[in-house]
């Protein structure tokens, strides 16, 4: 299977993530969109690793790192969102303008 398919899938997935990050008001959805972008990257890494065979094993290792980091990031991010929700009864990023000039 040509690598092009994987790249197209990855690009689509990343674009959806970007759209989500830029357009969503809900902080949880923004975090979800970030996950999408990270996974698009992961698809890229694994696809190239598979194509390169033994030389591309670094890509698989890197994908595993990304998954671990993404889990940690989501953990911290959701914790922040939960705390904000407890304080302000909202997760809308437009309302989180406390530090705005």
Partner 1 sequence: MVSSFLLLAQHGGETVPPAVPQDGFFTQFMWLVPLLPALSFVIILFFGKRFRHGGAAFGIAALGAGLLLSLIAFVELAAGNAAVEKAWTWFDFAGGDSLLLEFGMHYDFLAGVMFVVVTTISLLVHIYSTGYMHDDERYTIFFAFLSLFTASMLFMVIANNLIQLFVGWELVGICSYFLIGHWWEEKENSSAAIKAVITNRVGDVAFLFGIFVLFFAGHTFNIEVLNHMAEEGEIAATTLTIAALLLFGGAVSKSAQFPLYVWLPDAMAGPTPVSALIHAATMVVAGIYMIARMFLLFENAGAALDVVAIIASITMLLAAILALVQDDIKRVLAYSTISQLAYMTAALGVGAYTAGVFHLFTHAFFKALLFLGAGSLIHAVHSNNMSDMGGLKDHMPHTFKTFIIGSLGLAGIFPLAGFFSKDEIIGGALRSASDLGQVSAWFVLIAATITAFLTALYMTRACVKTFWGSYRGHGDPHESPASMVNPLWVLAIGTVTVGFIGFPVIGPFADWITVPGHEHHGFEPLYNLVLPIGATIVALAAIALGIQLFYRERWRVDLLSGPFAWLYRFPANKYYLDDLYLKGIVRPIQYPIARATYWTNQKAIDGLVNGAGIATVALSKPTYDILDQQVIDFAVNGAAGLTGFTGGMLRYVQSGNVQRYAAVLFAAIAAFVALFALT
Q: Residues interacting with partner 1, by CB under 8 A?
A: 18, 21-23, 30, 93-94, 96-97, 99-101
CB 83 within 8 A of CB 45: no
DSSP assignment letter at 22: H
For residue 24, the minimal CB distance to partner 1 (Å) is 8
For residue 100, the minimal CB distance to partner 1 (Å) is 3
Rg of the chain over CA atoms, in angstroms? Answer: 17
- What value, to the nearest 5°, has the Cα angle with vertex 17 and ends 16 and 22? 100
Nearer to partner 1, 20 or 59 (CB): 20
Nearer to partner 1, 29 or 70 (CB): 29
């Amino acid at each position: 299977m040509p690598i092009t398919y994987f790249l197209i899938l990855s690009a689509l997935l990343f674009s959806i993530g970007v759209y989500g990050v830029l357009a969503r008001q809900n902080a949880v959805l923004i975090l979800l969109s970030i996950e999408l972008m990270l996974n698009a990257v992961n698809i890229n890494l694994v696809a190239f690793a598979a194509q390169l065979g033994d030389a591309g094993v670094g890509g698989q290792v890197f994908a595993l790192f990304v998954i671990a980091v993404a889990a940690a990031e989501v953990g911290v991010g959701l914790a922040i969102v939960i705390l904000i929700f407890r304080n302000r009864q909202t997760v809308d990023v437009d309302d989180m303008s406390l530090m705005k000039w």
